[in-house]
Structure 1
Amino acid sequence: MPDDKDNQGAQDRARVSADQPYEVSYFAQKHGIPQDKARQIIEQHGPSRAACDAAVSSGR
């Protein structure tokens, strides 16, 4: 589902979408990982940015 650019509150910043190429790209660049790996992590751990960040940090 496309991201609503007008709804950018705290809930929006707490989530990352595997369907939005710019979010996958940002997440990958932030963690220094390939985009395909970033997309895999997001799909595996859900849209919670905290859960995805923790998964990268723990090497999962």
Structure 2
Amino acid sequence: MADEKSNRDFLDRKRLSVDEYYEVEHFARENGVSPSQVSRLIKKNGSDRMTLTQAIRALRDRK
């Protein structure tokens, strides 16, 4: 999240804030995985939401 509320751009929305557990939990719930799985995927792939969503789809396809 941007510290300066009046000077926001849309880059914040493309990344998942790893430091904010509620964001990780919400993202996990949206995608039907556990927060611990999301944390592992963040460590492996980074915090870009699109990349994480694709990694979750790949996990589902493997099962």
Structures share fold, TM-score greater than 0.5 = yes
Give the distance between the partners of 1:35 and 1:8, measured in 2 at CA: 27
In the alignment of these two chains, the number of paired residues is 58
AA of the residue aligned to 1:19: D
CA contact (8 A) 1:42 1:52 kept: yes
Q: Shift of residue 17 of structure 1?
A: 2.0
> Which deviations, in whole Å up to 9, do the C-alpha atoms of 1:23-46 show, x marking residues without a partner?
110111011111111111112110
Q: Does 1:25 align with 2:28?
A: no
- Structure whose alpha-carbon radius of gyration is higher: 2
Q: Using structure 1 for the length normalisation, give the TM-score.
A: 0.79
What percentage of residue pairs aligned between the two structures are identical?
29
Q: 1:14 to 1:35 in 2, by over 3 A?
A: same
Give TM-score scaled by structure 2 length. Answer: 0.76
Question: More relative contact order in 1 or in 2 (CA 8 Å, sep 6+)?
Answer: 1
